[in-house]
Structure 1
């Protein structure tokens, strides 16, 4: 039987669902969760107290640079977070410019797909680990939101503020070393970490899946095609096709559950500081559980993302939640479909826990798993 048909059979097997429901043991997440929570909290405080509470969501996005390189040595952690922060700022600036120019829809879809592909390839080359390119794609979607006069400067500056806060909070030890004129230690040279063929191939797959998923979401009129591209990107960060199928199940079901949780939160007349507190709590909980079960983490990631989206202006809770759910489902399905199409037969053994043990392993070029 051709390997793609075997794959489809495997992906439809009940064992695939059971594997997606399995929890993983993980330790050492508390420190990173606390640092991320502090970073987002300080970002909210700085921007809101400066009189720009409507832009706090962009500051919180910049603060998510704190998710990169958390377990690395000081010099490399500093460099990874700097690159992540710069990428978030540049992505939001580009999206804002394109929206301000009333760029055609096809240009916006291609821009999101290119950003997703470049972020995926770069994260694979840098071995950045979770969350990979998905946060960058989320930033692309935020940048495409309509903005008034001066939006480019306002969004860029507030995102940069969040990124700088992340750099300082999560690298406090490195800052102290610099103040004392002590070296941070060694770090790999960026020129030695250029994307190889596997990283470029994974970026190409993400580009194709992002274009397809975004186009379907746009034609369907769901309002946030970048979310569909993000769903496809997240799925294609799996280790192999079986793992990608499990991630699709986890992301799809988790997002639907998280969207249902978000509706009453979005509908409630919550003051800004209550929304900010909810975002911080959800972010910390996410960091504590995402390594243990990706699908469970989507129950907190989804309302957190929707609350951040709602800070900039009034939105219909049900419409926003439905868009998130449908966009994510389309992205997940397209991601798996592209993975199956691109799959090639691999070694004759599968990872423990994958369904149908006699099926040869089938792989696609993919970066380390991300959220």
Structure 2
């Protein structure tokens, strides 16, 4: 592949587009809890509710009833991930194990039921953010409740949006599952090891905000092919560098909580417009959005300090994700393992069938 072709692929704008009201609704839905929190003096707690409101991004292109069911199940998933992540982070050294179990579970479920992008990503992101929060056992019910409130708010907004856009009149799309169970298990096991391993490695380096390493690794591994993994790697590093400048500009004015809450609405709307066009452009606006939503809430550090250290975390996580993606997509290891597992499964089914027939004939 020539350099010109590679560069063209990196800067190309996809023809896919969304109706203008969908990004705007997403921005309002995710930013509204932050606005309420800023007005009531509970901005930090409201950020957890805004994280739960990201369930809105899982609204499927299906009938209203299917949309509601999917989003409610995703809300319960967010609640479970936050609970397990918080408890795992309470025990030194157990956080990577907890992240492995969370990632393994959500990747298997989202892959089996063919949940479209963002797939397992936000479940992993919310888990990493929860692990970075100061552990308070008594605060767990409140945090889970805030996630639930944010999710239910997103479900309500999705219901209103679906009624306004006539989704209840569309033809229902039947639920499809991926029958390649062995391939899903192998992929989930490998990706979970890479994501949790990235977190363990970041912890061993004693980084200031280590959770961005597994988040970046997971974002890179969202690519369905090696070419997409490579593009996402470049997009994330370059887009984050530019996005850090935008974040520095925002925080240079020492914005109040209400201003930051409004920025969340604006940035989320822009991200939803650009994410289907070009991932690199979207990352530019994802960077300040995540700084506002995750880092200030979980760590309590000064924003300027966070911006100075984050580039290392992003590059490290992106490199780990790229190497893992190369191993997964560019080698025939997992394909051969899948074939062997399929052969053993067919052999087991054949033996079971013959044994069953033999027992039946004896009777």
Please name the residue that 1:170 is paired with. Answer: 158
1:261–1:364: structure 2 CA closer, same or farther, 3 Å change rule?
farther
Q: Is the 8 A contact 1:116 1:229 kept in 2?
A: no
Q: Which stretch shifts more, 297-306 or 67-76?
A: 67-76
Whether 2:274 is the aligned partner of 1:292: answer no
CA distance, structure 1, for counterparts of residue 238 and residue 336 of structure 2 = 24
Q: Is the 8 A contact 1:47 1:158 kept in 2?
A: no
1:158 to 146, 149, 156: 146
Larger Rg: 2
- Which structure's residues are more often helix, by fraction? 2
Q: Is the 8 A contact 2:60 2:70 kept in 1?
A: no
1:122–1:321: structure 2 CA closer, same or farther, 3 Å change rule?
farther
Q: Is the 8 A contact 1:32 1:70 kept in 2?
A: no
CA distance, structure 2, for counterparts of residue 188 and residue 239 of structure 1 = 23
1:319 to 305, 314, 317: 305
1:104–1:281: structure 2 CA closer, same or farther, 3 Å change rule?
same
Q: Is the 8 A contact 2:248 2:304 kept in 1?
A: yes
CA distance, structure 2, for counterparts of residue 26 and residue 291 of structure 1 = 6
Please name the residue that 1:118 is paired with. Answer: 105
Whether 2:185 is the aligned partner of 1:200: answer yes
Whether 2:270 is the aligned partner of 1:270: answer no
1:152–1:20: structure 2 CA closer, same or farther, 3 Å change rule?
same
CA distance, structure 2, for counterparts of residue 315 and residue 227 of structure 1 = 15
CA distance, structure 2, for counterparts of residue 262 and residue 173 of structure 1 = 31
CA distance, structure 1, for counterparts of residue 189 and residue 79 of structure 2 = 23
1:323–1:218: structure 2 CA closer, same or farther, 3 Å change rule?
farther
Please name the residue that 1:351 is paired with. Answer: none
**1:46-195 equivalence runs, <5 A:** 46-48=36-38, 52-99=42-89, 102-105=90-93, 107-144=94-131, 145-148=133-136, 150-172=138-160, 188=174
Q: Is the 8 A contact 2:53 2:151 kept in 1?
A: yes
Secondary structure of the equivalent of 1:225?
coil
Unaligned runs of 5+ in 2: 339-363
C-alpha distance after superposition, 1:96-144 (max 9, x if no partner):
2233xx3113x11222233233323322222221212221121112211
Whether 2:17 is the aligned partner of 1:34: answer no
Deviation at 1:241, TM superposition (A): 0.9
Secondary structure of the equivalent of 1:150?
helix
1:63–1:173: structure 2 CA closer, same or farther, 3 Å change rule?
closer
Please name the residue that 2:327 is paired with. Answer: 341
**1:13-32 equivalence runs, <5 A:** 15-32=5-22
1:285–1:206: structure 2 CA closer, same or farther, 3 Å change rule?
same
Q: Is the 8 A contact 1:69 1:128 kept in 2?
A: no
CA distance, structure 1, for counterparts of residue 211 and residue 13 of structure 2 = 29
Unaligned runs of 5+ in 1: 1-9, 177-181, 347-361, 366-371
Whether 2:220 is the aligned partner of 1:235: answer yes
CA distance, structure 1, for counterparts of residue 135 and residue 291 of structure 2 = 18
1:314–1:336: structure 2 CA closer, same or farther, 3 Å change rule?
closer
Deviation at 1:307, TM superposition (A): 0.7
Q: Give RMSD over aligned pairs.
A: 3.1
Q: Is the 8 A contact 2:35 2:261 kept in 1?
A: no
TM-score (norm 2): 0.81
CA distance, structure 2, for counterparts of residue 46 and residue 314 of structure 1 = 20
1:364–1:253: structure 2 CA closer, same or farther, 3 Å change rule?
farther
CA distance, structure 2, for counterparts of residue 363 and residue 66 of structure 1 = 38
Q: Is the 8 A contact 2:216 2:314 kept in 1?
A: yes
Q: Which stretch shifts more, 63-72 or 313-322?
A: 313-322
Deviation at 1:229, TM superposition (A): 1.3
